Amino acid sequence: MHSDAMEHHRYMQLAFADAREACAAGNRPVAAVIVRDGEIIATGRNTIYADHDPSAHAEVAAIRVACRKFETLDLSGATLYSTLEPCPMCLWLILEAKIERLVLGARHAALKRLDTGDYSVETFLALTRRPLELVTGVLEQQCTDLRLQWMREQATKR
């Protein structure tokens, strides 16, 4: 495995472990890790149900931690790892924080979600004409399986 691929795998494994913990706490199984200069500068996990906050997404939480930690709105040079393709709100925040690379696990299309329509990171970037390096396929099957398992569990709770 190439060194970049190994690094991506290692950081996504950490995000995946956090996503499992978010799920165990009754939230959506999504987590994010932000890395800059080979160092983890922030992590976040989905807490929407625990916090009764529809904006408490993993990427938002991680970006808030990193920006507070460095007292800046500029996270240039950073890579954000997310176990699930970010929603438009989170992707806009990633762009506004000047994060330069996004590494993804699960994709909405693979989950066959009807509520996301034609949305993807790529369609959003094309619409906004904003630059962002995108790496896909990192622990994709594990992240997809975790989300599908959660979706099945939610369906049986209704």
d(CA 84, CA 94): 14
Nearest 5°: the CA angle 154, 156, 158 is 75
Question: Bridge-partner residues for 150, per DSSP?
Answer: none
d(CA 37, CA 79): 9
- Reported as type and span, the H/E element at residue 150 is helix 140-157
Of 7, 21, 39, 59, which is the active-site residue? 59
What is the crossing angle of helices 88-96 and 121-128, to 10°?
Answer: 50
d(CA 43, CA 34): 6
**21 catalytic, yes or no?**
no
Catalytically annotated residues? 59
